Amino acid sequence: MLEIPCPWCGLRNENEFICGGEAQRKRPADPDRETDEAWADYLYNNANPKGVVTEWWWHVSGCTLWFKIDRNTLTHEITPIEELPE
Amino acid sequence: MTRLANGGVVNRQRRLNFRFNGQEYQGLEGDTLASALVANDVKVVGRSFKYHRPRGLLTCGPEEPNALVQLLSDGDQPNLRATEIRLTEGLEAKSVNCWPSARFDLGAVNDWLSPIIPAGFYYKTFMARPWDFYSRFIRKAAGLGRLPTERDRGRYERVFHHTDLLVVGAGPAGLRAAQVAAISGADVMLVDMQMSPGGHLLFHSREIEGKAGAEWIAEVTAELKGRRNVTCLQNTTATGYYDHNMVLAVEHEPEAAWLRERLWHIRAKKVVIATGAVERPLVFPGNDRPGVMLTDAVARYVSRFAAVPGQRAVVYTNNSTAYEHLELMLSVGISVEQVVDLRATLGEAERELVQRNSIEVVTNGRIIGVEGRSAVRDVRVAGESGIRSVSCDLVCHSGGWNPLIHLYSHAGGKSVFDQESATFIPGEPVQAVHCVGAANGTFSVAGGLGEAAGIAGSLVEELTGKQLGSYSSRPEVAEIPYGINVIWPEKTLKGKAFVDFQNDVTTADIALAVRENFQSIEHVKRYTTAGMAVDQGKVGNPNVIGLVTKELGEQQGSVGTTTFRPPFMPVSFGVIGGSEQGQLIIPARTTPITRWNIAQGAAMDEAGANFRRPFYFPRAGESMDDAVAREARAARNACGIYDGTPLGTFELQGPDTAELLNRLYTNRFDNLLIGRGRFGLMLREDGRFLDDGVTFRVGPHHYLMSCGTGAAGVVYAHIDRLLQTEWTDLKVYLVNVSAGLATMCVCGPYARDVLGGVETDIDFDESFRFMDFREGRFAGVSVRIARVSYTGELSFEINVARRHALMIWTTLMNAGQNYGITPIGSETSGVLRIEKGFVSPGHEGDNITNPFDAGMAWIVDMEKPDFIGKRSLRRDLDLGGERQHVVGLLPDKHRALVADGSALLPDPGGSGRSGFQGHVTAACFSPTLERTIALALLKDGHHRHGEKVLISGLEQSCLATVTAPVFFDPQGQRMRG
Amino acid sequence: MKRFSIFSLARNALTGHRNWGKMWRSPDPKREYDVIIIGGGGHGLGAAYFLAKEHGITNVAVLEKGWLGGGNTGRNTMTVRSNFLREDSVPFHEMSLDLYHQLSRDLNYNLMVSQRGMITFIQSSAANRVALQMANTMHIYGAEYRMLTLDEVKRRIPIFDPSPDMRLPVRGGVYQPRASMVRHDAVAWGFARAADARGVDIIQNCEVTGVRQEGGAVTGVETSRGLIKGKKIGMAVAGHGSVVASMVGQRLPIITQPLQAWVSEPVKPILNEIVVIRSYYGTYLMQSDKGEIVVGQGCDPYPSYAQRGTFPIIEDATTSMLEVFPSFGRLKLLRHWAGMLDIPYDGSPIISKTNTKGFYIDVAGSGGFKTTPAAAKTFAHLIANDFPHPLAEKLGLDRFASGRLVQEGGVSANR
Amino acid sequence: MSYQVKISVLDDFALLNLRGTKAAVARFETALELEFPKGAQGVRVRDGVAVLNLAPDHWWVRTSLEDEDQTFTSLSEAITIEHAAITVVSDHFSGFSIVGDDALLVLRQGLSLDLRNIATGQCTRGSFARCGGTLQVLDQGYHYDLFVEASYADYVSAWLDRAGGGGGA
């Protein structure tokens, strides 16, 4: 059971969060200018690496913040990468 | 009876009667079932799984492979180990998987058939007929115990716990680690699976720092119990090590007496594993005969339970620990006929001990046979001076020690082969886990104590930052230095030599697997089933690995272990899932009107997001269809009322809310006026339906959005994610107010009359237009009322604070008495929806249609710069091609029965199409039109109006005409009037 | 290939089973092959078997980085079924079931295909609607999937004993009689033996670390045992689809997520059918021939390659199981593990060419054990002919470019 | 036979959900004459009005029921052009008070967070049983107030009854 570092609430058990997927899937600024192939890649494809990936996580039953962490998908080692905006 | 007159930790005043395999016996309080059987000279305790060979006790602990029993007297539990059952008055048990009895078992025929049923024989035969022809018999022979049929009444509990340092195992090393760590003030938790602390010190009287073992244990335990920062749990098994130092443990008899077991989720900052080791058997022909036991087990039965397993013993070993027990055995009258040592030379301490007690030792010795099918009679020993037969009734053997590295391995750590102790010990730890003592391959008590103190001290210093001063002293303990030399048996052995007692796997099976090119250890395990039984290879696996390595001609240690998987010991499903039974498995969410609905006798069913909603309100004698028809007619012709509270309701406030809505919905919202609402459609990025609903503009920067029940959670996540991860520049606050704001709908031609009958300052006349909302006082409380309609009728939706909801509801019911007000269920509102052809994301959406397919082009504004899903819609439009469209279906037979999900096929007599054409998304009998109607997805449906298609259901099929997807009041005059 | 039968068993008993010979050879890799299959599980070995048997292509190598069947083939719950929703996937899964039922005889290796039937409980009207939609669609393609009343459910499953105040009362079920259980390891071993006998080289401990290309076409693979040339490469590496496909720069619409399974201690036969408690966390369970209760549930809620799962999945599934089989409280969990599934966006398999010439992919999707023989057969057809098998036409990567997906699995809405 | 704990329903509480920028907070503080807590788990109390800091820009104001309207009005009037959201959510939540020596033995069955880190006079949000919960610590180890979304009230009270050791087999 993962222990995930929420920037506001600190370390919490995985059952308080929802995984938001790969963070580098940024929504294109102007989708109309995307080719069909680029748009399909954004919609459906993932890097899905075996190793470190930057992910969104949502502290849904806590402070409801969305935040990013680096997580190793093989060892589940987690590195917090977001400090709170003061 | 071979119970010693004194000694052991048993209460000789308290005799306990028990029955085993139909025989009456007596044991003492403090006995386990196993020790009581030993004290009563019971040799055969069970039958092996495959060959049904008679089996005796091999061990004295939880790793016991042979003595699996059905505990009849306590819940008829299957597959319990006799070594783990505390003896109680009136206990009754019998051996598993033998018929008619353990003494005489017909299954033993397999022992004679063994030549033609080697490992994996079932892959090579049983192919002449379908497997189920054979599996009927094979399944009966398989399976060990019998599962009871009546309900398990046990109460269980699940808890989360956090600690700084967790110590697993309260043997000498574990006790010392906890003792040292506790000094620092850090939170320490000590967990141990035995009934009382002490580990192997309970079984072997050893002196530590000049004190007797038992005295040392009592001292340390008292010290720990006296500290507030220490939690001690006995009779608690740590069963698994999971991510980020989460350890799962099962507490068997918690002090909260109404509980049978408690499951602990322990999140620790640091973990010390002090789980000790189990003795490894030697591999020799007949090593499974009743009366062949591990040396450590013999010592435990004698010293702990004063029960003597045999009178004339032969000791067979390849290491020094066997010699530690010789004097104990002699002291209780066991005559040591001979010691057979596989090694060429003995250690100096061992030689001195055997000379002192004039015991005959055969070095370079091998046991090449054991006689006695249900009790050992004699053994054949091959030494330098030839082969001799030695008569005996007990064979104590020791092949070395297997450190219990299960938890360390679950944590992700790899094990390494230690040549000196010839076993697998922990390597580089993964996660914050540290092994000490025998679990770390340190087989001396003194060494274990030193390690434990050193590691525990450094860990708590790291945790607390405090210096603890000197603590890693290495006490002197009287013990023989550990020495071992593992010699694997040659292939020329005659007779069955077992490596896995429970699954009956012999050295011949291992050789066969390797010969057939199953050379990975995982292949050998799966092909021979070695290590796959209930004991999961705790005693046998290292022997399997050693033999495979020898067969491959590799260097010992080069072939690794199979994967260690939780749980360390089997765990009852009761404690895993039994704490949230019945209504607690999934929350049943309620509204203030739920109890009223139930009181009215509504047929409740599951709606979205775990809400229970009334499906229809049957009156006496009414079927569902009758009730739904009555309710629908009331809504169309008089007045219907339903509870809309489960719908999602969100407040959006901020200067950029209009821009946000423009990007979320397919239609425009930036031109919505205050006091007005608008129906909006929300898509996913892939252009498919997410949800639809009405949003009102309450103030300059203040909107109220409503959405479908099931979609509420998904829509909230969708918007919140966009605000926090993509459009972080938009100033909008999103607040979920679904539960706090009750929503009630009054619809139908008399809706205005019913509302008029209530004291209010709100005017409900024609100036209150469709999609307007007004705020004011209603029945004495402040409300917001909107003209929104999901039924196609004139309809008013009343929003009121939850605390007033029931009062408003009953007020409306009273006001509507003489207007035929009728509560309508969601089955009925489903019928009304189909009659109006309102598209539902969950039915017609079906994850594949886009708004154009659903005939909702009117709500899609492709001129907007961007909205979620727009790019995907453009892709759909550009690619074109045949798509499934939403259509209406009118069955030729007016009263045809059409089931949801029925498939659509071409009209047999009609157009040249073939194959699957689509399916019915929602069908019903329409009381308004007095005929069956349906909505459906049909290939190229928009262009096939007027065509006939065949509705193919499981029970019956019927022809139907394709129409536009609306059957009643297409212009919507009733709801807009 | 030595024929296996009761007679060959008896004959070999006389010589102490010393002359059985190898099930498959362990050759050193040749410098070049016509076809290189990456992945020695059921799909990879099966594809090699069908290439040899149905297309006469035998100069084939199957490269496995670990031991045969060590991936998902050795980690599933042995269930094979074909109850699906879409016209583009029902026939494909039906073919898989048909092939399974004749595979023991074709391979002369007993896969222990036990036709137990599968009963999915219906606990809400929404569930009833989905069951009907499946039943009607499958009915069109001759696949039997019929509704059961509550009494019929109770008659078939004697130990079905739900508590009176169940949160979602069982009101009936939907039944696929042909759903079966198959001994998973035997699928890999059976295919390996038969493919090896036809000349296919099966090479274990040989990890592919790179794919060589020239002018947009593959020329071979770099492996832990050196370079192996080949103009056609088939990837069947369930759980590692993205990792291997990235070697040709191909991104895929999949996420790797653990799917756990666990077994109880073996007990005497008490349950024949495969039971699915769909509305309680998608829990399903059955009893193996050995007597163990085998249980599974949905995937873990986040991507992982760790081949182990998170415990709450087992807790929720156990609570669900105890709701319909309360006597299982005393039964004990013996062992739990996890496979790694490549979960596609629409939940259906991907058997397809890619942007790189000669590089073909078979991504099993959610639960690849049930599709093993059909995927192997259609994958072999694609590799041999460079155009898809009729039943796999709609299962290519092109469905993602056009957005015409084969929507079987639940789709995470906020993607 | 059950734990030493008294579980009862809280009925006299009003909750106002505040979202706002720094500028808005300054307005809130003057309106309530109370300095807002800074940082996670922070709570500030001034004669019966408590402000709980739930997230970087998210607070609850907890007061008595009869002060609900007056508090809402004074907060709303304090805001002019600042970006803020003030919402009465008293009806959105149901409250339970858990008091007794065994309070932690009940809470630890539903809360996976580390209760050692939440001291008297602090608050936090986390997953509780199968829904979310907001915890306010009145006396660490002894007296906790727990708020859950109102539609889960029946479920949580049945859950607490069971966790307390009561309820049938």
The pLDDT value recorded for residue B211 is 85
d(Cα C407, Cα B976) in Å, to the nearest integer?
A: 37
Q: Tell me the CATH number at B667.
A: 3.30.70.1400
Q: Mind listing the pLDDT tens digit for each residue in D22-65?
A: 999 999 999 999 999 999 999 999 989 999 999 999 999 999 99
Interface test with C, best of A39, A43, A50 (most C CBs within 10 A): A50
Closest-CA residue of chain A to D117: A10
Does the distance separating the beta carbons of B684 and C415 come in below 8 Å? yes
Cα D18–chain centre separation: 13
Reported ipTM: the value is 0.96
Does the distance separating the beta carbons of A34 and B243 come in below 8 Å? no
Written as six digits, the tokens of B607 are 């709606």
Strands (E), B21-96: 23-29, 46-47, 54-55, 68-71, 77-81, 91-95
Q: Mind listing the pLDDT tens digit for each residue in B354-393?
A: 999 999 999 999 999 999 999 999 999 999 889 999 999 9
d(Cα D169, Cα D161) in Å, to the nearest integer?
A: 12
Find chain B residues with C-beta within 8 A of C159's C-beta.
149
Closest-CA residue of chain B to D166: B258
Asked whether residue B628 is domain-assigned, the answer is yes
d(Cα B56, Cα B64) in Å, to the nearest integer?
A: 10
Q: Nearest CA to B338 among B380, B300, B308, B302?
A: B380
Question: What percentage of chain C carries pLDDT values higher than 70?
Answer: 98
Find chain A residues with C-beta within 8 A of D114's C-beta.
11
Find chain B residues with C-beta within 8 A of A26's C-beta.
726
The pLDDT value recorded for residue C415 is 33
d(Cα B716, Cα B693) in Å, to the nearest integer?
A: 13
Report the interhelical angle of B295-305 vs B321-331 (nearest 10°). Answer: 40
Written as six digits, the tokens of B391 are 């008569």
d(Cα B215, Cα B222) in Å, to the nearest integer?
A: 11
DSSP reduced 3-state for B499: strand
What DSSP string describes C342-362? Answer: EEETTSS-EEEE-SSBTEEEE
Find chain C residues with C-beta within 8 A of B140's C-beta.
268-269
The pLDDT value recorded for residue C410 is 44
Q: Tell me the CATH number at B775.
A: 3.30.1360.120
Per-residue pLDDT at B139 exceeds 60: yes
In 3-state terms, chain D is what percent helix, strand and coil (to 5)? 30, 40, 35
The pLDDT value recorded for residue A86 is 56
Mean pLDDT of A61-68: 96
Mean pLDDT of B966-977: 92
Does the distance separating the beta carbons of D151 and B735 come in below 8 Å? no
Q: Tell me the CATH number at B184.
A: 3.50.50.60
Interface test with A, best of B162, B242, B243, B663 (most A CBs within 10 A): B243
Q: Which of D54, D56, D112 sits opposite A84 (nearest CB)?
A: D56
Question: Distance from B584 to chain D by nearest Cα, in Å?
Answer: 7
Per-residue pLDDT at C170 exceeds 90: yes
Per-residue pLDDT at B439 exceeds 60: yes
Same domain, B624 and B767: yes
Residue A68's Cβ-count burial label (10 Å; 0-12, 13-18, 19+) is middle
Asked whether residue B176 is domain-assigned, the answer is yes
Q: Which of B558, B580, B614 is the last residue of a domain?
A: B558
Mean pLDDT of C102-110: 96
Asked whether residue B906 is domain-assigned, the answer is yes
DSSP reduced 3-state for C90: helix
Per-residue pLDDT at A20 exceeds 80: yes
Find chain B residues with C-beta within 8 A of A76's C-beta.
243-244
Asked whether residue B960 is domain-assigned, the answer is yes
- Going by pLDDT thresholds of 50, 70 and 90, the confidence category of residue D1 is confident
Asked whether residue B785 is domain-assigned, the answer is yes
Domains and CATH numbers, chain C: 26-76+184-252+346-402 (3.50.50.60), 118-177+255-344 (3.30.9.10)
The pLDDT value recorded for residue D169 is 42
Cα B440–chain centre separation: 30
What is the DSSP secondary structure assignment for residue B726, as one 8-state letter?
I
Find chain B residues with C-beta within 8 A of D169's C-beta.
153, 155
In the 3-class helix/strand/coil scheme, how is B803-828 assigned residue by residue?
HHHHHHHHHHHHHCHHHCEEECCHHH
| Residue B88 touches chain C, beta carbons under 8 Å | no
Mean pLDDT lowest among B92-96, B467-471, C249-253: B467-471
Q: Which of B736, B751, B774 is the last residue of a domain?
A: B736
Same domain, B271 and B407: yes
Same domain, B351 and B234: no
Does the distance separating the beta carbons of D155 and B737 come in below 8 Å? no
Q: Nearest CA to B279 among B63, B565, B486?
A: B63
What DSSP string describes B276-302? Answer: -EEEPPP--TTTTSTTEEEHHHHHHHH
d(Cα C371, Cα B805) in Å, to the nearest integer?
A: 53
Report the interhelical angle of B172-183 vs B445-464 (nearest 10°). Answer: 30
Same domain, B642 and B758: yes
Same domain, B712 and B785: no
d(Cα B320, Cα B331) in Å, to the nearest integer?
A: 19
Written as six digits, the tokens of C40 are 């020695």
Does the distance separating the beta carbons of D151 and B160 come in below 8 Å? no
| DSSP bridge pairs for B676 | B772
Find chain A residues with C-beta within 8 A of B265's C-beta.
1
Does the distance separating the beta carbons of A64 and D58 come in below 8 Å? yes
Question: Distance from B777 to chain D by nearest Cα, in Å?
Answer: 15
The pLDDT value recorded for residue B646 is 93
Q: Which of B736, B764, B795 is the last residue of a domain?
A: B736
The pLDDT value recorded for residue A74 is 96
Domains and CATH numbers, chain A: 3-80 (3.30.2270.10)
Same domain, B171 and B249: yes
Neighbours of chain A (3+ CB pairs under 8 A): B, C, D
Per-residue pLDDT at C411 exceeds 50: no
Q: What integer best gives the mean pLDDT of chain B?
A: 94
Place of tokens 């080692």: A77
Q: How many domains does chain B have?
A: 7
Q: Tell me the CATH number at B946.
A: 2.40.30.110
DSSP reduced 3-state for B141: helix
Does the distance separating the beta carbons of A32 and B870 come in below 8 Å? yes
| Residue A85 touches chain D, beta carbons under 8 Å | yes
Per-residue pLDDT at B472 exceeds 70: no
Mean pLDDT of C298-327: 95
Q: What are phi and psi of C145, to 5 degrees?
A: -150, 100
Interface test with A, best of D22, D124, D130, D156 (most A CBs within 10 A): D124
Q: Nearest CA to C301 among C258, C336, C343?
A: C258
Q: Nearest CA to D152 among D110, D114, D118, D124?
A: D110
Question: What percentage of chain B carries pLDDT values higher than 90?
Answer: 86
What is the DSSP secondary structure assignment for residue C386, as one 8-state letter?
S
Contact B45, B23 (CB under 8 A): no
The pLDDT value recorded for residue C412 is 33
Asked whether residue B23 is domain-assigned, the answer is yes
Per-residue pLDDT at B314 exceeds 50: yes
Mean pLDDT of B144-156: 89
Q: Mind listing the pLDDT tens digit for each residue in C361-387?
A: 999 877 789 999 999 999 999 999 999
Quickly count: other Cβ atoms within 10 Å of residue B205's Cβ.
12
Asked whether residue B938 is domain-assigned, the answer is yes
Residue B131's Cβ-count burial label (10 Å; 0-12, 13-18, 19+) is buried
Contact B869, B666 (CB under 8 A): yes
| Residue A20 touches chain C, beta carbons under 8 Å | yes
Same domain, B271 and B166: yes
The pLDDT value recorded for residue B560 is 87
Does the distance separating the beta carbons of B801 and D155 come in below 8 Å? no
The pLDDT value recorded for residue B103 is 85
Start-to-end CA span in chain B (Å): 99
Does the distance separating the beta carbons of C322 and B574 come in below 8 Å? yes
For chain C, how many helices (H) and strands (E)? 10, 19
The pLDDT value recorded for residue B473 is 64
- Going by pLDDT thresholds of 50, 70 and 90, the confidence category of residue B101 is confident
Is the peptide bond prior to B100 cis by the omega test (within 30 degrees of 0)? yes
Q: Mind listing the pLDDT tens digit for each residue in B418-432?
A: 999 999 999 998 899
Q: Which of C242, C310, C311 sits opposite A48 (nearest CB)?
A: C242
- Going by pLDDT thresholds of 50, 70 and 90, the confidence category of residue C409 is low
Domains and CATH numbers, chain D: 6-10+92-163 (3.30.1360.120), 14-90 (3.30.70.1520)
| Residue B513 touches chain C, beta carbons under 8 Å | no
Q: Which of B578, B585, B903 sits opposite C329 (nearest CB)?
A: B578
Q: Mind listing the pLDDT tens digit for each residue in B766-800?
A: 999 999 999 999 999 999 999 999 999 999 999 99
Total residues found in chain B within this entry: 977
Does the distance separating the beta carbons of A16 and D112 come in below 8 Å? yes
Query: Which residues 22-61 in chain A show a CB within 8 A of chain C?
Result: 36-37, 40-41, 43-50, 53, 55
Closest-CA residue of chain D to A18: D127
Same domain, B554 and B522: yes
The pLDDT value recorded for residue B470 is 64
Q: Tell me the CATH number at B91.
A: 3.10.20.440
Does the distance separating the beta carbons of B242 and A66 come in below 8 Å? no
Same domain, B642 and B652: no
Q: Mind listing the pLDDT tens digit for each residue in B168-195?
A: 999 999 999 999 999 999 999 999 999 8
Mean pLDDT of B333-337: 94
Q: What integer best gives the mean pLDDT of chain C?
A: 94
Neighbours of chain D (3+ CB pairs under 8 A): A, B
- Going by pLDDT thresholds of 50, 70 and 90, the confidence category of residue B1 is low
| Residue C325 touches chain B, beta carbons under 8 Å | no
- Going by pLDDT thresholds of 50, 70 and 90, the confidence category of residue B722 is very high
- Going by pLDDT thresholds of 50, 70 and 90, the confidence category of residue C60 is very high
In the 3-class helix/strand/coil scheme, how is B367-429 assigned residue by residue?
EEEEECCCCCCEEEEEECCEEEEEECCEEEEECCEEECCHHHHHCCCCEEEECCCCEEEECCC
Closest-CA residue of chain A to C405: A44
Question: Distance from A86 to chain C by nearest Cα, in Å?
Answer: 29
Does the distance separating the beta carbons of A13 and D124 come in below 8 Å? no
Same domain, B755 and B822: yes
Same domain, B638 and B759: yes
Q: Domain containing B816: what range?
A: 594-646+740-830
Does the distance separating the beta carbons of D89 and B590 come in below 8 Å? no
Does the distance separating the beta carbons of A74 and C305 come in below 8 Å? yes
Written as six digits, the tokens of D23 are 């500028």
Does the distance separating the beta carbons of A20 and C414 come in below 8 Å? yes
What DSSP string describes B653-712? Answer: ESTTHHHHHHHHBSS--TTPPTTBEEEEEEE-TTSSEEEEEEEEEEETTEEEEEE-TTTH
Interface test with A, best of B871, B873, B878 (most A CBs within 10 A): B871
Interface test with D, best of A8, A11, A17, A57 (most D CBs within 10 A): A8
Residue B863's Cβ-count burial label (10 Å; 0-12, 13-18, 19+) is exposed
Q: Which residues, in sequence order, are CB contacts of B228 under 8 Å at separation 6+?
A: none
Q: What are phi and psi of C47, to 5 degrees?
A: -60, -40
Mean pLDDT lowest among B8-12, B692-696, B742-746, C320-324: B8-12
Closest-CA residue of chain A to B868: A31
Find chain D residues with C-beta within 8 A of A65's C-beta.
55-56
The pLDDT value recorded for residue C102 is 95
| Residue D53 touches chain A, beta carbons under 8 Å | no
Written as six digits, the tokens of C220 are 């071979």
Rg (CA), chain D: 17
| Residue C144 touches chain B, beta carbons under 8 Å | no
Q: Which of B265, B508, B581 sits opposite C319 (nearest CB)?
A: B581
The pLDDT value recorded for residue C163 is 83
Same domain, B390 and B445: no
The pLDDT value recorded for residue B977 is 81
Q: Which helix (H) or strand (E) holds B752?
A: helix B751-756
Contact B97, B50 (CB under 8 A): no
Question: What percentage of chain D carries pLDDT values higher than 90?
Answer: 93
Runs of H (alpha helix) within B131-240: 131-141, 172-183, 213-225
Q: Mind listing the pLDDT tens digit for each residue in D56-96?
A: 999 999 999 999 999 999 999 999 989 999 999 999 999 99
d(Cα B762, Cα B746) in Å, to the nearest integer?
A: 15
